[in-house]
Chain A
């Protein structure tokens, strides 16, 4: 449960720390929270991108850098309502990771569901750990 408490305190972080270049589009950019797991088959990444649909997200892997980007437009006004209280901001998402494992680029899968992006990055066949049979002799 300690994880939960910790994550609650982590606010939606604005990206920018590692981004050296400026973007042409103005507006806020947020850094999505991610979970990354690994097994012998490959890496699986989950990213929280609330407000982004499947057509808004782009995932690229170039020179061992995996980039996740999503364009989210702040909602147009809700009728004639005024925003009376706000706890979260709405904007684009950006985050990039260096992937050191050799990845089979043709078999990468990415899927959006309920604001969560899931990327499966299968390892190249030769990078998978192999059990070496020991022969008696």
Chain B
């Protein structure tokens, strides 16, 4: 995203500041700022006609994950089950979290909820959310008088 270069006589600090600010607001446009408790972590890829969200949730049963979309909000809900301790077993280390999770993600546009697809592989949940037809950007041609 960052462009390197622009050194020389044409370099303009004000312009550079504006560009940085634009890139920065671009990064967060339409999305919630990161909040304190966010599990599972997500990466969001935005395209013209759909949004792809990937999320790291290793070791969950896909049946324990509940996804729903309303307008431009995605809700992820689920449970990461605790590793059961057998007879006579004791923990040495416990770093992997478990329990219920719930989070909502603001999408950049309205989504056609009937076409949302999700699959789970290698502990990564991948959700494809196609943009709603009515919400798609239309190109408007400018006519000359």
**Chain A residues packing against B (C-beta within 8 Å):** 1, 3-10, 12, 33-40, 43-44, 46, 48-53, 75, 78-88, 113-116
Q: A39-B86, A39-B89, A88-B56 are in contact. Are A46 and B45 (CB under 8 A)?
A: no
Choose the segment among B2-10, B12-20, B90-98, B134-142 that binds chain A (4+ C-beta atoms closer than 8 Å): B90-98
Q: A36-B91, A37-B85, A82-B45 are in contact. Are A114 and B37 (CB under 8 A)?
A: no
Q: Which B residues lie within 8 Å of A1 (CB)?
A: 99
Q: Which B residues lie within 8 Å of A38 (CB)?
A: 89-90, 92
Q: How far is the CB of B92 from chain A (nearest CB, A)?
A: 4
> Is B122's beta carbon under 8 Å from chain A?
yes
**Chain B residues packing against A (C-beta within 8 Å):** 26-29, 31, 34, 36-39, 41-48, 50-52, 54, 56-60, 83, 85-99, 108, 120, 122-124
Q: Which of A51, A83, A87 contacts B122 (CB 8 A)?
A: A51
Q: Which of A12, A36, A79 contacts B92 (CB 8 A)?
A: A36
Q: Which B residues lie within 8 Å of A9 (CB)?
A: 36-37
| Cβ B123 vs Cβ A10 within 8 A | no
20 interchain pairs (CB within 8 A)? Answer: A3-B94, A3-B97, A3-B99, A7-B95, A7-B98, A8-B38, A35-B83, A35-B94, A37-B83, A38-B92, A39-B90, A46-B59, A50-B58, A51-B56, A75-B54, A82-B46, A84-B108, A85-B27, A85-B28, A85-B43
Q: Which A residues lie within 8 Å of B94 (CB)?
A: 3, 35
Q: A38-B92, A80-B47 are in contact. Are A8 and B39 (CB under 8 A)?
A: yes
| Cβ B41 vs Cβ A115 within 8 A | no
| Cβ B95 vs Cβ A81 within 8 A | no
